[in-house]
């Protein structure tokens, strides 16, 4: 090997121009790969941290559905559908919280509706609002990511809604008036249920995440009322004098409410939180305290998520419970696919560049082989076997790939370190979702360094195959004669 190495270094030095061309391509390619992989790995880590720490936890449990379940509903070919409640919630909760890996948990209901301000003149305008129905104590203990501008967190047993500053701006544009803490917001679940809640707080996210800035947090009882999560009737309701007079005038339910259901803003703890229409025979219904769309778990070690998800799904199957478990990616839904898609696009681009690099290096090596025909022939005439010639070119190629590959790693790493110090900032929502916040400080990925160097060696080896095959076909006598004629 020392002999081959000396020959390789001598040949590389004698063919400086060709070595510089091939080495420059290798160096540039490695630097780009280090930058690209480091950026993607850092962005993926930032997104994972932003969702896991702020909204999804490490494991999500939901009712089983035909489509892909996330915190934003069930994604199907026809669009988005409501997530089914977790069956036998009590048993599921007891089993999940008993697992050694679990550090904390919280339950959640989700949905959306049309919001308006009943106490202000909005000219009939409404605004779409997406809601997370939460249990305040456990949710705050698990996800303390709200930085309040005014007001404060929901108190246990109190109805109310928390709005982000982005939502306040959106409501102002849609409704033509500003919403403040203490205002009443009326939410209609697309014609089936109506609920009025008080704005208890306005917040910004500590970890900037446009994917979640348009989500409002509401008490779980209000959300369950809007979603119709009830457990049956509790007897006949009492009809007040005012309602009786309205009905006595001959106006029916359709005239009064357009055929929709009315949910009065009763105290959250009451058993009559949802009243189905106004009429002489209306029946109040009680909310199902055990009805939840999601159970979110945070683990002591996030790396245990895959194993716990598998164990939970096995238990659901054994107990014949129509529930399913997934990791934070499933909970984040389509947003978690962004890094994967970008990585695939980047890999496709790297593949195209690699093919071009192979062609350029191969052509350069071919020219080098032709120029060295007499040298190869002389070596063969003196007894050198084909395997020796093969190892000689292989040593040259690997040496060049490693030297310029390491140089590319140094250059790419230096750029990553510089970007880490200054940070990459963006105000674009898409970039903020991708980076897991408004700022990204990329870090060097050891895996990226190894992958880049390995890719360069593979490219060099692939480019070497054809030129060496041509070199081994050179006849010693002809090569020597060609050398003498020159």
What pLDDT digit, counting tens, does each position of 310-368 carry? 999 999 999 999 999 999 888 887 777 776 777 778 778 777 877 777 787 777 777 77
Torsion of CA 325, 329, 332, 334, to 10 degrees: -120
Tally of residues, the chain: 486
Q: Please, what is the angle between helix 386-422 and helix 373-381, to 10°?
A: 130
pLDDT of residue 285: 47
CA distance 484 to 103: 81
* 278 vs 93 pLDDT, higher one: 93
* pLDDT band of 270, cuts 50, 70, 90: very low
Q: Which two tokens stand for residue 425?
A: 């900032």
Task: Residue 58: name the closest of 115, 122, 104, 10 by CA.
Answer: 104
Please tell me the predicted confidence (pLDDT) of residue 277: 35
Contact status, residue 297 vs residue 57, Cβ threshold 8 Å: yes
What burial class does residue 344 get, using C-beta atoms within 10 Å of its C-beta: 0-12 exposed, 13-18 middle, 19+ buried?
Answer: exposed
- Regarding predicted confidence, which is higher, 472 or 226? 226
189 DSSP β-pair partners: none
Which among 291, 109, 293, 125 is positioned nearest to 215, based on CA atoms? 109
pLDDT tens across 150-207, in order? 999 999 888 999 999 988 988 888 888 888 999 999 988 876 678 899 999 999 888 7
**Position 244 pLDDT exceeds 90:** no
Q: Name the pairing type of β-strands 284-287 and 184-188.
A: unpaired
Average pLDDT, the chain: 77
pLDDT in tens, 365-421: 777 777 776 777 777 777 777 777 778 878 888 888 888 888 988 998 899 899 888
Residue 12 confidence (pLDDT) above 70: yes
Q: How many CB atoms lie within 10 A of CB 420?
A: 16
Comparing 22-26, 54-58, 247-251, the range with the smallest average pLDDT is 247-251
Residue 226's contacts (CB-CB under 8 Å, 6 or more residues apart) are: 111, 113, 131, 187, 189, 193, 195, 263
Residue the block writes with tokens 């692939």: 462
pLDDT of 266 above 50? no
pLDDT value, residue 476 = 62
Percentage with pLDDT > 70 across the chain: 79
φ/ψ of 483, rounded to 5, equals -70, -40
Q: How confident is the model at residue 109 (pLDDT cuts 50, 70, 90)?
A: very high
């Amino acid at each position: 090997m020392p002999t081959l190495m000396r020959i390789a270094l001598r040949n590389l030095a004698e063919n400086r121009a060709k070595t510089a061309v091939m080495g420059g391509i290798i160096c540039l390619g490695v630097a780009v790969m280090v930058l690209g992989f480091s950026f993607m790995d850092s962005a993926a880590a930032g997104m994972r941290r932003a969702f896991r720490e702020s909204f999804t936890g490490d494991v999500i449990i939901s009712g089983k559905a035909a489509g892909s379940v996330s915190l934003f509903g069930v994604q199907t070919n026809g669009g988005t559908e409501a997530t089914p409640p977790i069956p036998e919630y009590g048993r599921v909760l007891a089993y999940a919280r008993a697992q050694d890996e679990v550090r904390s948990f919280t339950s959640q209901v989700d949905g959306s509706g049309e919001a308006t301000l009943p106490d202000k003149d909005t000219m009939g305008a409404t605004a779409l609002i997406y809601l997370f129905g939460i249990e305040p104590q456990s949710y705050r203990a698990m996800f303390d990511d709200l930085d309040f501008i005014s007001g404060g967190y929901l108190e246990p047993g109190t109805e109310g809604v928390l709005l982000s500053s982005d939502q306040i701006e959106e409501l102002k544009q849609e409704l033509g008036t500003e919403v403040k803490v203490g205002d009443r917001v009326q939410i209609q679940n697309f014609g089936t249920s109506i609920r009025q809640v008080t704005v208890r707080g306005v917040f910004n996210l500590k970890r900037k995440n446009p994917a979640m800035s348009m989500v409002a947090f509401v008490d779980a009882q209000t959300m369950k009322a809007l979603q119709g999560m009830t457990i049956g009737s509790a007897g006949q309701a009492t009809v007040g004098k005012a309602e009786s007079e309205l009905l006595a005038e001959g106006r029916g339910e359709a005239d009064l409410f357009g055929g929709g259901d009315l949910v009065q803003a009763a105290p959250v703890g009451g058993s009559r939180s949802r009243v189905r229409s106004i009429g002489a025979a209306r029946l109040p219904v009680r909310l199902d305290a055990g009805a939840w769309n999601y159970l979110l778990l945070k683990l002591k070690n996030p790396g245990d998520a895959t194993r716990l998800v598998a164990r939970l799904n096995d238990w659901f199957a054994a107990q014949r419970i129509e529930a399913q478990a997934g990791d934070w990616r499933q909970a984040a839904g389509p947003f978690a696919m962004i890094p994967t898609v970008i990585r695939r696009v980047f890999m496709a681009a790297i593949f195209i560049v690699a093919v071009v690099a192979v062609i350029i290096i191969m052509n350069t090596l071919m020219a080098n082989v032709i120029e060295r025909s007499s040298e190869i022939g002389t070596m063969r005439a003196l007894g050198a076997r084909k395997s020796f010639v093969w190892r000689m070119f292989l040593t040259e190629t690997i040496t060049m790939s490693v030297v310029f590959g390491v140089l590319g790693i140094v250059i790419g790493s230096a750029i990553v370190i510089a970007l880490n110090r200054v940070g990459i900032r963006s105000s674009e929502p898409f970039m903020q979702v991708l980076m897991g916040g408004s700022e990204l400080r990329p870090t060097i990925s050891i895996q990226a360094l190894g992958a880049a160097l390995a890719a360069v060696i593979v490219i060099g080896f692939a480019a070497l195959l054809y030129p060496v095959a041509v070199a081994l076909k050179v006849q010693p006598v002809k090569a020597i004669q060609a050398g003498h004629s020159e």
